[in-house]
């Protein structure tokens, strides 16, 4: 059973460009979470999605950031007009659904804004 997959693993963008990060959850998992890890900090929750629905986006910056999890295909975290402060590792996690289960993390996408 393949784990959580994220691509690209590394992404370099110039200031003002758009960044698209993709996440394919584990097979059978319908819940996806996005987290951001800044240098010297722990992981911070950004958004929680189920298929075609955003359940909790309380950790998402109000501007430039958006996320989706369509009926078909991977979840996408989109950052418009990137700035240097967006440079971070972005991790996706998935879980099978309700209950006390742990979340399974992907390898992350390291975004560098130049």
Partner 1 sequence: AQSVAQPEDQVNVAEGNPLTVKCTYSVSGNPYLFWYVQYPNRGLQFLLKYITGDNLVKGSYGFEAEFNKSQTSFHLKKPSALVSDSALYFCAVRRNQAGTALIFGKGTTLSVSS
* Cβ at position 30, least distance to partner 1 in Å: 10
Q: Interface with partner 1 includes 43 (CB under 8 A)?
A: yes
Sheet containing 19-24: give its strands across: 5-7, 19-24, 75-79, 65-68
In the three-class reduction of DSSP (H, G, I as helix; E, B as strand; rest coil), residue 94 is classed as strand
Question: Which of 24, 33, 69, 82 lies at the binding interface for partner 1 (CB under 8 A)?
Answer: 33
d(CA 75, CA 32): 8
As measured in angstroms, the least distance from the Cβ of 81 to partner 1 is 26
Core vs surface per residue 81-103: b (16+ CB within 10 A) or e: ebeeebbbbbbbbbbeeeeeeeb
Of 16-24, 52-60, 70-78, 79-87, the segment contacting partner 1 by CB under 8 A is: 52-60
Q: Does 112 bind partner 1 (CB under 8 A)?
A: no
Binding of residue 90 to partner 1 (CB under 8 A): no
Q: Say whether residue 91 binds partner 1 (CB under 8 A).
A: yes
């Amino acid at each position: 059973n393949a784990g959580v997959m994220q691509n690209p693993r590394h992404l370099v963008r110039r200031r003002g460009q758009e960044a698209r990060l993709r996440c394919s959850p584990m097979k059978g998992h319908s819940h996806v979470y996005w987290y951001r890890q800044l240098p010297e900090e722990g992981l911070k929750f950004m958004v929680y999605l189920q298929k075609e629905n955003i359940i909790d986006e309380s950790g998402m910056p109000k501007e430039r950031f958006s996320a989706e999890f369509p009926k078909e295909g991977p979840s996408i975290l989109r950052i418009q007009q990137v700035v240097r402060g967006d440079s971070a590792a972005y991790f996706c996690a998935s879980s099978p659904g309700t209950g006390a289960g742990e979340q399974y993390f992907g390898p992350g996408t390291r975004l560098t804004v130049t």
